[in-house]
Structure 1
Amino acid sequence: MRTKFKKSYRFAVNTSLYITLFITLLVSVFLYYFHEIKWFNILILASIVYAFCFVVIQFRIEKFIYKRVKRIYDDLTLLESANLSKGAITTDMKTLTQEIDKFAKDKKIEIETLRVREKYRKEFLGNVSHELKTPLFTVQGYILTLLDGAMDDKKISRKYLERASKGIERLGYIIKDLDMITKLEVGDLSLNLEEFDIVELVENVFEMFEMKAAKKKITLTFDMDYTEPIIVNADKERIQQVLANLIVNSLKYGRQKGTTEISIENLIKNKVIVRVTDNGEGIESEHLPRLFERFFRVDKSGSRKEGGSGLGLSIVKHIIEAHNEKIYVESEYGVGSEFSFTLEKTE
């Protein structure tokens, strides 16, 4: 790539002018004492001196500055500054300063991002270790107890085997959910897009959790009677999983005799928004930005008692984003929460 210069001549012009004035006055004084002064000759002399000074100063000093400025660009290029390496090298100090400042700000943001990611990585690994360790140690404890002689008692052995089975089931949930998130993130999990009635799908999910809701006397309901089908284009199985995860969460943190309400509204011509609203515990505002992170729990002890892999909301987010749609959350602590997501609507 041919090197281009962005030149600033002000320094050369002013410096050449000072030198020309000095030499012209010096020569004028000399000629005044030793020869007859001709103003025409002095003007020619001044012009020649000025032109010579300008060329020498401009190009010699620019070359001098360029060598040093290029070292700065080379150093920045080594630090993988794509913008600077592609741009023209300039000896203009103002432009260079702006580019250096921009580079420094970009690197500062990059460093902060890396710190956040490193913190998230450590936290994630800790969470994975803890989530896997808890059911694993539980299963191991029950099996060791049975091997130590408890298996001779049929009543105790059955109870311990059932508890060990639940622990293994939870391990299976965690591994399955982690596998799904990984596939969603790398794009290996393909979506089977089809047209279906979202109202009917919600009704099916309500039926799935009817007994679970009845235990806490929570009412699963629509916000209104939907007499006409609402046809959307999406992966039916994955959207069912999204609805199931959101409804399960509302039941976990819902109040006794509370309500979980589903509403489906037209957003724009070819979009609908599905809202899942409850009047449960609600979520404090400081937790909302991290709500969709893997294994993030607002109430660690309470949510573990309720079971699950701790990956439900993260899976929900990835599934919706795989459809190129958006998911939103609004919540007020002590009042309730609303999760909503968009889907493509067909005519």
Structure 2
Amino acid sequence: MSLSPRIIALLLACLISALTVAFLAFVDGVTNSMLFVVGISSFVVSFFLVLYAIELLVFREVNKMYKTIHKLKIRDFAISRKTIIKNTNPFKKLNDEIFVYVAKKQKEIDELKRLEQFRREFLADVSHELKTPIFAAQGFIHTLIDGAVDDEHVRDKFLSKAAKSLDGLDALVKDLVALSQLETGEVKMNFERVDLAHITEEIFEQLEKVTSAKHTSLRLRTTNPGPVWVKADAQRIKQVMTNLIENAVKYGNENGRVLVSLEEEKKHILVSVRDDGPGIPPEHLSRIFERFYRVEKSRSKDRGGTGLGLAIVKHILNAHKAKITVMSKLEKGTTFRFKLDKMD
């Protein structure tokens, strides 16, 4: 049998009223009418006091605890610390403290699960990325060992392919080391006064062969002619710009155009790298800065790269206290933007 707050209050009120009347019955001079009035009064007062105590202070808060458990099950962690501080009811404070503690632990568990998933994916990606060039070089070399080395044409061709595979492996290992050092803070930025316009022009010259092959035009647009001075690590910011511009050329259209804009603001220089390529589908935009993440794995492989470029870009800009953003529309192109501190 389950007892409701009303039944418990009724039973306790009857008990209190009966005890009160029983004690008063032994007092001299107390009449039956007085005993009746005292009995009724004590019953009514006891009933409402007990009902209030049980209903408001116990049962209602216990029900809130059940609701809290339900909210935790559906992972609704919306509660403010101020609410806990304001509460004077110990049951309410206990309820809220339990909620906050469990919510915090649940978030820690979710973060650990996310990191574990990330670790598994990263190990799988590294294994796959390392396996491809190693197996390729291994196949070419074993073919030569098995007798193809005597054929001069085949030997040169296979040695060239093996060397290309090992060069790709070397680039991958270097990028992994660089990314690891950036993430652990081993690489210290050497901030100085850097002419971003000059760096961009140098990159345009370096990519001349690539742009000629795709018939892509590179254009630099600045707010004012002349140098654009920013506070940055020259080597690292050149690495960022090279990666973004090279990606824009690689993944842009044939006969396309890449526009690099350096817009002067009050305290910053807004850097934009825009292409007029096929764009990035919306579902991929939030993940393109992850290690080894490729929008189109097969096409990305054909175009080279280690899959770590944008991850490195993100970490370098984080070290510059800058945040990179990306906007893209299908068939209209992609734009990467970030800000650097301006220097006079």
Match of 1:111?
A: 109
Match of 1:54?
A: none
Percent identity at matched positions? 41
Distance 1:236 1:18, change over 3 A: farther
Within 5 Å, give how 1:103-142 maps onto structure 2: 103-142=101-140
Task: Say if 2:215 and 2:254, in contact at 8 Å, map to a contact too.
Answer: yes
Alignment equivalent of 2:271, drawn from 255, 267, 274:
274
Within 5 Å, give how 1:310-325 maps onto structure 2: 310-325=307-322
Task: Say if 2:262 and 2:270, in contact at 8 Å, map to a contact too.
Answer: yes
**2:204 aligned with 1:211, yes or no?**
no
- Once residues 279 and 242 of structure 1 are traced to their aligned partners in structure 2, the CA distance between those partners, rounded to angstroms, is 20
Match of 1:337?
A: 334
Deviation string for 1:240-262 (max 9, x for gaps)? 00011111111111101100100
CA apart distance, 1:28: 2.2
CA apart distance, 1:18: 9.1
Structure 2 residue runs of 5 or longer lacking an equivalent are 1-11, 35-41, 47-80
SS in structure 2 at match of 1:223: strand
CA apart distance, 1:23: 4.7
SS in structure 2 at match of 1:143: helix
Task: Say if 2:256 and 2:277, in contact at 8 Å, map to a contact too.
Answer: yes
- Once residues 312 and 224 of structure 1 are traced to their aligned partners in structure 2, the CA distance between those partners, rounded to angstroms, is 25
Match of 2:166?
A: 168
Deviation string for 1:54-95 (max 9, x for gaps)? xxxxxxxxxxxxxxxxxxxxxxxxxxxxxx9xx99x981121
Distance 1:316 1:221, change over 3 A: same
- Once residues 264 and 326 of structure 1 are traced to their aligned partners in structure 2, the CA distance between those partners, rounded to angstroms, is 16
- Once residues 228 and 102 of structure 1 are traced to their aligned partners in structure 2, the CA distance between those partners, rounded to angstroms, is 56
Distance 1:123 1:19, change over 3 A: same
Match of 2:299?
A: 302
**2:336 aligned with 1:346, yes or no?**
no
**2:286 aligned with 1:293, yes or no?**
no
One-letter amino acid of the structure 2 residue matched with residue 251 of structure 1: V
CA apart distance, 1:108: 2.8
- Once residues 220 and 257 of structure 1 are traced to their aligned partners in structure 2, the CA distance between those partners, rounded to angstroms, is 11
Match of 2:225?
A: 227
Deviation string for 1:248-304 (max 9, x for gaps)? 11111110110010001124x221110000001210111011110000000000000
One-letter amino acid of the structure 1 residue matched with residue 29 of structure 2: E
Match of 1:189?
A: 187
SS in structure 1 at match of 2:26: helix
Match of 1:29?
A: 25
- Once residues 181 and 13 of structure 2 are traced to their aligned partners in structure 1, the CA distance between those partners, rounded to angstroms, is 71
CA apart distance, 1:131: 0.4
CA apart distance, 1:210: 1.1
CA apart distance, 1:97: 1.3
- Once residues 18 and 264 of structure 2 are traced to their aligned partners in structure 1, the CA distance between those partners, rounded to angstroms, is 81
SS in structure 1 at match of 2:321: coil
Structure 1 residue runs of 5 or longer lacking an equivalent are 1-15, 40-45, 51-83
Task: Say if 1:199 and 1:226, in contact at 8 Å, map to a contact too.
Answer: no
One-letter amino acid of the structure 2 residue matched with residue 30 of structure 1: F
- Once residues 311 and 30 of structure 1 are traced to their aligned partners in structure 2, the CA distance between those partners, rounded to angstroms, is 93
CA apart distance, 1:163: 1.0
- Once residues 30 and 156 of structure 1 are traced to their aligned partners in structure 2, the CA distance between those partners, rounded to angstroms, is 121
Task: Say if 1:233 and 1:344, in contact at 8 Å, map to a contact too.
Answer: yes
One-letter amino acid of the structure 2 residue matched with residue 105 of structure 1: A
Number of aligned pairs? 293
CA apart distance, 1:103: 2.5
One-letter amino acid of the structure 2 residue matched with residue 200 of structure 1: H
Alignment equivalent of 1:93, drawn from 91, 94, 110:
91
- Once residues 220 and 282 of structure 1 are traced to their aligned partners in structure 2, the CA distance between those partners, rounded to angstroms, is 18
CA apart distance, 1:341: 1.3
Deviation string for 1:131-190 (max 9, x for gaps)? 000000000011011111111122221111111111111111111001011111110001
CA apart distance, 1:17: 9.8
- Once residues 294 and 281 of structure 2 are traced to their aligned partners in structure 1, the CA distance between those partners, rounded to angstroms, is 12
Q: 329-338 or 294-303, which moves further after superposition?
A: 329-338
SS in structure 1 at match of 2:226: coil
SS in structure 2 at match of 1:277: strand
Match of 2:73?
A: none
Q: 120-129 or 255-264, which moves further after superposition?
A: 120-129
TM-score (norm 2): 0.77
Task: Say if 1:280 and 1:335, in contact at 8 Å, map to a contact too.
Answer: yes
One-letter amino acid of the structure 1 residue matched with residue 22 of structure 2: L
CA apart distance, 1:226: 4.6
One-letter amino acid of the structure 1 residue matched with residue 131 of structure 2: K
Deviation string for 1:213-248 (max 9, x for gaps)? 110001010235851211111100100000111111
One-letter amino acid of the structure 2 residue matched with residue 198 of structure 1: L
TM-score (norm 1): 0.76
Deviation string for 1:78-126 (max 9, x for gaps)? xxxxxx9xx99x9811211122222233333333322222222111111
